[in-house]
Amino acid sequence: MIRKTLKFTLVLSLVLFLPVFAQANNLPEFTELAATAGKSVVFISTEKVADVPTQTEQFRQQIPDGHPFKDFFDRFDQFFGQQPGKQPRKQRGQGSGFVISSDGLIVTNNHVIDGADKVTVHFQGDNSEHPAKIIGQDKETDLAVIKIDLDRPLPVLNFGDSDAIKVGEWVLAIGNPYGLDNTVTAGIISAKYRNLRVGPFDNFLQTDASINPGNSGGPLLNMKGEVIGINSLINAAGQNLGFAVPSNQAKEIIAQLKQGKTYQRGWLGVTIQPVDENQAKALGLEEPTGALIASVGEGQPAAKAGVKQGDVVLEVNGIKVHDSNELLRSIANLKPGEKAKLTLWRNGKEITRTVTLGQRGEKAMASMQPVPPKQASNVLGMSVKPISKKEAAALGLGSAHGLLVVQVDPNAAASDEGVRQGDVIVQANQQDVNTPAELEAVIQRDKKRGAVMLLIKRQGQNLFVALPLEDQ
- 233 annotated ligand-binding residue: yes
377-468 has the same fold as 170-257:
no
What are 406-450's pLDDT values in tens digits?
888 877 888 888 888 788 999 999 899 998 888 988 888 888 888
- Taking CA atoms, 351 is separated from 263, 290, 336, 345, 460, in Å, by 31, 14, 23, 6, 29
Looking at per-residue pLDDT, the higher value among 234 and 74 belongs to 234
- The beta strand positions in 169-254, using DSSP E, are 170-175, 183-194, 204-207, 219-221, 227-234, 242-246
Quick one: pLDDT at residue 119? 96
Quick one: pLDDT at residue 261? 86
> With bands split at pLDDT 50, 70 and 90, how would you rate the model's confidence at 126?
confident
Residue 424's Cβ-side half-sphere holds a number of Cα atoms within 13 Å equal to 27
DSSP secondary structure code for residue 159 in this structure: B
With a cut of 50, say whether residue 60 has pLDDT above it: yes
> HEC string of 401-446?
CCEEEEEECCCCHHHHCCCCCCCEEEEECCEECCCHHHHHHHHHHC
With a cut of 70, say whether residue 33 has pLDDT above it: yes
> With bands split at pLDDT 50, 70 and 90, how would you rate the model's confidence at 458?
confident
Q: Is 173 in contact with 184 (CB distance < 8 Å)?
A: yes
With a cut of 90, say whether residue 381 has pLDDT above it: no
Beta-strand pair 377-379/170-175: unpaired
Q: Which segment of 41-50, 313-322, 336-345 scores lowest on mean pLDDT? A: 41-50
With a cut of 60, say whether residue 82 has pLDDT above it: no
Q: Which segment of 31-35, 265-269, 311-315, 362-366 scores lowest on mean pLDDT? A: 362-366
With a cut of 70, say whether residue 385 has pLDDT above it: yes
Homologous superfamily of domain range 377-468: PDZ domain (2.30.42.10)
With a cut of 60, say whether residue 81 has pLDDT above it: no
Domains of the chain by residue range = 170-257, 266-367, 377-468
Q: Position 355: which residue type? A: V
- Taking the C-alpha atoms of residue 97 and residue 144, their distance in angstroms, rounded to an integer, is 10
Residue 335's Cβ-side half-sphere holds a number of Cα atoms within 13 Å equal to 7
Quick one: pLDDT at residue 110? 95
- Taking the C-alpha atoms of residue 312 and residue 273, their distance in angstroms, rounded to an integer, is 10
With a cut of 50, say whether residue 9 has pLDDT above it: no
Quick one: pLDDT at residue 20? 46
Residue 265's Cβ-side half-sphere holds a number of Cα atoms within 13 Å equal to 23
- Taking the C-alpha atoms of residue 74 and residue 82, their distance in angstroms, rounded to an integer, is 9
- Taking the C-alpha atoms of residue 17 and residue 7, their distance in angstroms, rounded to an integer, is 15
- 126 annotated active-site: no
User: Residue 67 is inside which H or E element, if any?
Assistant: none
> Per the residue annotation, which of 216, 247, 295, 330 is the catalytic one?
216
> With bands split at pLDDT 50, 70 and 90, how would you rate the model's confidence at 279?
confident
Mean pLDDT of 463-468: 89
Quick one: pLDDT at residue 417? 86
Mean pLDDT of 388-415: 79
With a cut of 80, say whether residue 392 has pLDDT above it: no
DSSP secondary structure code for residue 152 in this structure: S
With a cut of 60, say whether residue 19 has pLDDT above it: no
SS3 call for 92: strand
- 350 annotated ligand-binding residue: no
Q: Is 142 in contact with 56 (CB distance < 8 Å)?
A: no
What are 166-200's pLDDT values in tens digits?
999 999 999 999 989 889 999 999 999 998 878 88
The percentage of the chain sitting over the pLDDT mark of 90, rounded to a whole number, equals: 49
Second CATH level (architecture) for the domain 266-367: Roll (2.30)
Mean pLDDT of 152-173: 96
CATH topology of domain 170-257: Thrombin, subunit H (2.40.10)
Q: Is 314 in contact with 320 (CB distance < 8 Å)?
A: yes
SS3 call for 390: helix
- 214 annotated ligand-binding residue: yes
- Taking the C-alpha atoms of residue 366 and residue 140, their distance in angstroms, rounded to an integer, is 15
- 47 annotated ligand-binding residue: yes
What's the whole-number average pLDDT of the chain? 84
Quick one: pLDDT at residue 302? 95
- Taking the C-alpha atoms of residue 168 and residue 363, their distance in angstroms, rounded to an integer, is 42
Quick one: pLDDT at residue 301? 95
Burial of 15 (0-12, 13-18, 19+ CB in 10 A): exposed
- 142 annotated ligand-binding residue: yes
Mean pLDDT of 109-120: 94
> Per the residue annotation, which of 111, 295, 324, 330 is the catalytic one?
111
Q: Is 190 in contact with 208 (CB distance < 8 Å)?
A: yes
Mean pLDDT of 123-134: 90
Beta bridge partners of 468: 451
Mean pLDDT of 150-169: 96
Quick one: pLDDT at residue 373? 34
- Taking the C-alpha atoms of residue 113 and residue 146, their distance in angstroms, rounded to an integer, is 9
Dihedral sign for Cα atoms in the order 416, 417, 423, 428: negative
- 216 annotated active-site: yes
- 247 annotated active-site: no
- Winning range, highest mean pLDDT, from 78-92, 215-229, 377-391, 429-443: 215-229
pTM of the predicted structure, to 2 decimals: 0.68
> Per the residue annotation, which of 142, 181, 423, 446 is the catalytic one?
142
Using alpha carbons, select from 146, 266, 287 the residue that is nearest to residue 201.
Answer: 266
